[in-house]
Amino acid sequence: MFLLRSSATSPWARAALLVAAVLSTMASFAPAQNSISITHPLSPTSLNVFNFGPHSFKVQYPAGTEFSGIDMTVVAEPLSPSAFAQRVANTQFHQAACDIYLGEAGNCIDYLVTCSNPVGGQVSCPSTKSAYISVETSFNSNQTIVNPGFLTTPIGKNEWSNILDAFYEMRIDPTAHGHTNGFSEFVAVALGATNPEGPGNFAIEPPLQNSDPRSFPDGSSIPVAFTLSSASHPGEPVTDATAGLTVLMVANAENQRVSEAVFAQQIAFHYEGGAYRFDLSTKKLPKGTYVLTIFGDAFASVATTFTLH
């Protein structure tokens, strides 16, 4: 309830003041874009999943890790693209754009990860001597991701480093995967073209074009090849790109849905005969359906499917 006082005698003036006051009051009750916090007991052996609905953050310690009595808290903090740009403005990642998550009002997500003991006292998260703790974020996005990255920094600082070692893309559901030996802030990004020749237009070669059957006998070797034509110099090829490859199994031989990463190589392709080439061996892969993602430093990531029969 509120009271208006005005020296205005016009009914229209008093009405205008009333409307303004009502709108101001309604605005004060508008929901803010808030962070979400999830706390779980931390497992040294099982996959730790922090599910925020339209996106998630996952942690997996390497085999043989031992600890107990630790809780992990992951805060999903909405981060505007402009705020992120300000944070990385004076770093080597000044050209990076954070990935915008669907369902987050045009924001990116900054994951802030901390640990505590059972009585709530803050402690350091268990670390490893080598950076073999797996971390990843899966999310929905309509963004074109050129040169994916997964940046981390000590909380509140701008000492960013890129820990991405694999990138999986299914329709509009990309996953950025990396390794760390400790916990802090994590942000999925598109680094933009970083090769000297600049960005290229991607074109995949047979036998993985959309018009191809893309069905192969299990145990065979699949030739994966693509070309890049310069976006800034039409007709010229881009020859200096670096490209990686990941493979995700999405259905078994009985067409039952699964989700299992079966292959990842960050630098997989070599340039030869006008194309980037890699021979994918399927000797250890069971029959089923797979999503193959190609990502690199000069083009937008691309995903295609194939089956082994």
pLDDT digits (tens, 9 = 90+) for 213-265: 999 999 999 999 999 999 999 999 999 999 999 999 999 999 999 999 999 99
> Torsions phi, psi of 14, nearest 5?
-65, -35
**pLDDT of 99 strictly over 70:** yes
Is the same domain home to 241 and 297? yes
**pLDDT of 309 strictly over 80:** yes
Is the same domain home to 53 and 182? yes
Q: What is the CATH number for 120?
A: 2.60.220
User: Looking at residue 196, what DSSP letter applies?
Assistant: T
* pLDDT band, very low/low/confident/very high, at 171 (cuts 50, 70, 90): low
Domain range enclosing 284:
200-308
**pLDDT of 9 strictly over 90:** no
> Torsions phi, psi of 133, nearest 5?
-80, 120
Is the same domain home to 143 and 225? no
Is position 252 within any domain? yes
User: Which of 141, 168, 190 corresponds to the end of one domain?
Assistant: 190
* pLDDT band, very low/low/confident/very high, at 105 (cuts 50, 70, 90): very high
Is the same domain home to 180 and 47? yes
Spatial separation of the C-alpha atoms in residues 305 and 279, rounded to whole Å: 16
pTM score, whole prediction:
0.85
Is position 177 within any domain? yes
Is position 55 within any domain? yes
pLDDT score for 130 = 80
Is the same domain home to 227 and 252? yes
Residue 75: partners with Cβ closer than 8 Å, 6 or more residues away: 35, 36, 37, 111, 112, 113, 114
Is the same domain home to 107 and 165? yes
> What does DSSP say about strands 133-139 and 257-265: parallel, antiparallel, or unpaired?
unpaired
Is position 24 within any domain? no
Residue of 164, 173, 204 whose CA lies nearest to 306: 204
Alpha carbon separation from 45 to 41, 48, 111, 132, 184 (Å, rounded):
12, 9, 22, 13, 21
Is position 23 within any domain? no
Spatial separation of the C-alpha atoms in residues 139 and 57, rounded to whole Å: 9
Is position 226 within any domain? yes
pLDDT score for 7 = 31
Alpha carbon separation from 303 to 1, 97, 121, 197 (Å, rounded):
56, 21, 44, 23
Spatial separation of the C-alpha atoms in residues 34 and 77, rounded to whole Å: 7
